[in-house]
Structure formats: C-alpha cells, structure tokens
Structure 1
Amino acid sequence: METLIPLAQKLYLLGIHPEKGGIVYQSGTAMDYVIVGGLLMEMYLNKNIKFDNKRIVLLSDKSDNEAHRFMLQKMSKAKGPRRISSWINKFYYSLNYIRGEVRDGLVSKRLIKIEDKRFLIFKWKKPFATNKQVLYKLVDEVKESIMRGTSDEESLILLSFIQPAGLLPRLFPDRQERKKARARLKEMMVGNRVSTAVADAISASQAVAASVAISAAAASTSA
C-alpha cells in the first residue's frame, strides 16, 4: 500500500541528502520556515484556516494532528486575524517541537531515522533516509510536475515551496535545467494566490532573520 505523506513531511524529506544524510546545504535554515509554511497549508486544505488579504483567519481549532493542534490553539488565543508572516515568525520560536513532530511522522512511517550527533558542546539530530525508493520516487514526481505542469491544487501548493526551501539545486543540479525549472515554476504560480502568499511570507521572514543575524554579527565585531 502506498504511503501517504503530508505536505510538510514531503518538504522535509525532499531536503534530506539521500547518501550523506542531513538537510542539503542549499536548504539550510530555510527548511525551518518552510516546515511551518507547509503545516499552515495543510491546515488550509483541512479547512481549519483560510487566508484573507495575506492574513490567517481561524475557522476551526479541531484536528487529529498534534502539530496542527499546537498551532491552532495558539491562533485561537489571538484577538483577531494576523498576517501570515507574523504567525510564521511566532511559530519559529516553537520550531524544536514543530520540527520534531514532522520528523517523528516520517520516522513512524519508516522513511527516515534520526541519529543524535555531538561536536564539543553542540548537539543536534541528523536525519537519514531509510527508504530511498520512496524519496527518489517523490523527487521524480516533483520534477515531472514542474516540467510537464499540473493543475492539482495540492501539487501546486507543494511546488510553491520548492524555491523558498532552496530545493531547486537539489532537484536540478544542471544549471540549464534549473533555469528552465525556475521559469516553469514562475508560470505555474501565476494566479495561485494562496500558496504564493505563504511562499512570499516565508521569503520575507527569511530576509528579516538574515538581516538580524548580520546586524548581530556586525555589532559583535565592533564591540
């Protein structure tokens, strides 16, 4: 029986290096924001939320998904609709829990394993793909959807995250193919307002985070 993989889990799986493990370099911290965005789109598809003028409107806080419930409960405490980028930044501070839920979902499906790593005082969890056949199949499906086009809503939503997640170099190592893929994605995203709004919010959040990091590094250097 085919394994059903939710959107956020697909994005995380696509970011794992098939041989070395870990998230591919090009995705880096971008994957953290994309996981949050992927979960938001899952809740949109489940009709827990809707998007109105780049703001999130809560429709229902009921869900069987632990990560969804965690996020929906926080949304239910807000006084009113907030901008997508505001929620993405807010959930970023709960990323350890949110990312853990996404990873655990893939582990329970036996698609990845997690190894605890340590270097000096630093500790982290490194994912490895354990079912590479599923991973390679997913890669092929995404590449085909990009190059041949698709009208399926869920597929279009997934594709809208490919560039914000930094996954184009992973999917298309050849520069010319990557250029064509980027152009195809741009064509398909025209009119896809909901997922494009989320992707734009992710890009904006990444830019703010990068600016803060640069400012902090500069302050540290001049001190």
Structure 2
Amino acid sequence: MQADFLKKKPRNNLLTITNPFCLLIKTRTPTMELNTIEKFLLIAHHPEKGRFKIPPIHFKYGIAGAILLELSLRKIISLKEARVVIEQQPVTIDPDYPIFEEIIQSIQLGHRLHKPRFWIQKFGRRPRKFKWIFLDGLAKKRLIRIKELKFLWIPYRRSYLIDTSSRQKLIYNLREVLIYKKPKTEADIAILGLVESCKMHSIIEPDRSKRKIVRQELKQILKESPISEILAATIKQIQMGEFKTGVGKIKFIEPVSHTETYSKIFTKVTFDKDDLTKTTLDMVLETGGYYSMNYQTIIHLLKEQDKEDLINEQIKFISQEMTIVSKKLENDNPKSFGYEPYKITAQVTSEDFVEKAGDKYLFKVGELIGPQQEMYQDNDRKLVLENDFKRSYHRELTVLIPDGYTITNLEKINIQNVYKEDGEIFFEFHSHYKIDGNTLTIICDEYYTVLEIPTTIFEEYRKVINSAADFNKLTLVLEM
C-alpha cells in the first residue's frame, strides 16, 4: 500500500513524488527552490561556525532588503514614483512562511506610501525575529541544524550548516554570472544586489585580484533591475548613516599567552581504610584568563541559589554522583579578573572511582582530570583548524596509597606527545609521576601555544588531544 504522504497533491508546481526512494532526494531542497531570504542567509552564513560572516549592521538591513526583493520577485510589490506599492494580495504567499502575510499587511495599513528606505529601516529593527523564522525554515529543509544551548541557565540558539554544498552551489552560480557571463535570472540579480549592498564580495570571490571585476560587473548587472539597484543603494545609504567615520588603522592584536588562560586542578585522594571503594577528594580548582572570564565577571549578579547551583555544578564536573562535604569560593569579584584566579576549594566523597575485582581494586585515576575531548575519527582534515585562544592545563593528583597495598601498573601513567617546529613547542601533553613512600604524585601538563593548526600538522594536534583522552581512561591496579 502506498503511504498517504506520497499521495498528497503537489504544491508550488513541484513534481509529484511517486517513488518513495525519491523522498530522500526531495528533503535535500535544491537551491533553485530557496527564496531570496534563505539564499541570503546561506551565503552570509559561516561554513563551519555557528555565526554569520558579515557584520550585524549589514545583516539586519540585508535581511530587510531580501524580504522586499522576494516580494518583488513574486510580483506582490513594485515601485511607483520611487515608493513601495502592493500590486496584488494573494490568498497564501508561502504556507511555510506566514510572516509574509504579516509583512504585506504592514505595508498595506500604512497611512501613506513610503519609499524603500522606510520599510528597510522598519523591518531592520527586527532582524532577530526574521532571522530565526527563516533559519527554522532552512532547518525543516535539512540545510542547517539549530543547536539549543544555555549559558548560566539563559537559553540561546546557534545555527550550523549541515551540508556546505548548497551554499557553495549558490556562490558558484553567482561567480559564474559575474565572471564568466552565465545567463542570469531575476532571482540572481536580486541576490547580487544584496552582495553589493552588504559587501559580500569576498565571499563570492576569495581571489582579491578578481574582486575589481566582480564589483564592475555588479554595477552593470544591477542596472538591469531598477528595484534591485534602488534597494541595494538604499541599504548602503542606511548603513553608512549608522557609521561614525574616522581615521582608522588595522593592526594585528597579539593573542594572550597560553600561560594566562589556564585551568588547574589539585586533588588529594584518600581511601577509606575500611572500604577502599570509598574515597575522599580534597580539591582545589583554579581558572584564569578566558576560562574565568564568564564566571568572575558576572557571578556576583546571580541570586544566591543560582550561585550555589553553579558552584556545585563546577565541582561535580568530574562526576555528578559525588557528595559535597564542604566548599569555598574565592576571587569571585569582577575586579579579580585578570589578576587573581577564580578559585574553588572543596572536599567531596565518592564511590565512583574505585571498583573491587576479586582481591584487587581498580582505581579510575584518569577520571579525576574530568571529561576530555576526543578526536579519534579517521576523516582527513580539509581546512585549517582555528582555536579561540592559546591555553594550558595543569593537573596534580596526590594519591595516598593504603597501607599494605602497591600499584602494579604505574608505567601506564607515563604518556607524552609533543609537536615542535624549529625548537618551539606548538602543543604538548605530558603525564608522569613520582612516588615517595605511600604517596603517589601524578602531574599532567597540557598546553597549546598556537591558534591556527594547518592541515599538514593536524594529525600531530590530534595525537596531543587524544593523549588527554587516553589518560582519562587510565585505571591503576591496587594489590596487597
């Protein structure tokens, strides 16, 4: 029996799908089915990160212009005597975007006809609303994914491209029109107007030497569509009106040293003499630089209960099953940021880190450094990896070995992976130990001194990242 959803009548002149295997293809919406706003969002979106590549001022007026251009392409609005007028009022413009009806109604209810500048400024005041309406639409078409996140219990969203090929096809098509004189459509001209007004030339043509050609062609092409030319010019005028001009200089800002952005853990482990599966951890957690910025600068603004919950969550990052016996927070004043580390001292008890196996005890010491990033995939890296900042980690674990017991596999602690160029260390993970009587001290140092990781050394970077993940899985064996 054929599924009901395959029997529905086609919409928007799309072909009826009778073969269920074709449904998988249809869900990957071809770029020709995208509207102007969706195309603008895809082109302006960063191919890898959850953000856009154009400045906010270009984005907010760009999306407003894209809305008017889309209505113009659908023959719903036009310009008469340089003012926006409604040509027709369709019953349903786009069932996927009811917002179009709201926009048209807003234009219709105006007391008088307005120039494009008025509507671009009006719609430009609500860029966030329009952005997420159309990003949600792209998510339904499986071109992007939206990630729901929280920062200090404040929800926010990020969008990421699922498949960059749709974006690349759009850019490639525009480049063909501009550089190789490919026949253009009205939809192409509309998008090119946004490229010109929002200064997306470098996105369309990365080669700086060809951008002059791109700019010259854009000016000629826009003359073929008066409304696209007028809207592009209007958007640029509004953007310039919001800028304060001055004499500027471009300088490279040196990144902060890896020693100034750090995370340190000092933990003393004591075993219960009557039951070795029970442990007491005396912990000192310190962070500085970018790692402490999000806490030191705002934690004083939180309500007491929220502050308490945040501190508990930071202590329990190793294991949620730990019981907090005592805790103390230091340097939580914004004035401490950049001068003193954000510091938590705590004592906890846990039964998570030791398991009994016959007459032996398995001590999961690696888990005391907390969860670690893993990069075990076999895929080849295609692009340069960019770190947000240089950073370092120091973990010092002091283990009081119970009387009568020895650890039989201490050599597993020794892990080292390092990458150097011309004697300069780029990144390293090194764990080692020393033992003095019944006191075992384990030291793990990990640091990254460069921001950009070229594909040529990515495998070396992956080895260092995975060294920390390997240590996280380390289990020591205690025997009588």
Residue equivalent to 2:64:
36
Residue equivalent to 1:142:
174
Distance of 2:131 and 2:123 partners within structure 1: 11
**Residue 209 to residue 114, structure 1, CA distance change in 2 (3 Å):** farther
CA contact (8 A) 2:198 2:236 kept: no
Aligned residues: 211
Greater C-alpha Rg:
2
Residue equivalent to 2:235:
202
Of residues 194, 198, 204, the one that matches 1:165 is: 198
Distance of 2:195 and 2:210 partners within structure 1: 15
Q: What TM-score do the two structures reach when normalised by structure 1? A: 0.84
CA contact (8 A) 1:41 1:195 kept: yes
Of residues 113, 119, 123, the one that matches 2:145 is: 113
Displacement of 1:60 in angstroms is 3.0
Distance of 1:122 and 1:88 partners within structure 2: 31
CA contact (8 A) 1:27 1:167 kept: no
**Residue 118 to residue 85, structure 1, CA distance change in 2 (3 Å):** farther
Displacement of 1:114 in angstroms is 2.1
Displacement of 1:10 in angstroms is 0.3
Residue equivalent to 1:16:
45
Please state if 1:81 is matched with 2:113: yes
Q: What TM-score do the two structures reach when normalised by structure 2? A: 0.41
The root-mean-square deviation of aligned C-alpha atoms, in Å, is: 2.3
Deviates more, 1:190-199 or 1:149-158: 149-158
Matching residue's letter, 1:55: R
Please state if 1:68 is matched with 2:100: yes
CA contact (8 A) 1:49 1:56 kept: yes
Distance of 2:131 and 2:192 partners within structure 1: 20
SS at the partner of 2:227? helix
**Residue 121 to residue 203, structure 1, CA distance change in 2 (3 Å):** farther
Residue equivalent to 1:58:
86
Matching residue's letter, 1:81: L
**Residue 88 to residue 6, structure 1, CA distance change in 2 (3 Å):** same
Percent identical pairs in the alignment equals: 24
More helix per residue: 1 or 2?
Answer: 1
Unpaired stretches in structure 2, ≥5 consecutive residues = 1-25, 245-480
Displacement of 1:109 in angstroms is 0.6
- In the TM superposition, 1:173-192 aligns within 5 A as 173-192=206-225
Residue equivalent to 2:75:
47
SS at the partner of 1:51? strand
Displacement of 1:15 in angstroms is 0.8
**Residue 144 to residue 81, structure 1, CA distance change in 2 (3 Å):** same
Displacement of 1:27 in angstroms is 4.2
SS at the partner of 1:42? helix
Distance of 1:8 and 1:126 partners within structure 2: 18
SS at the partner of 1:50? strand
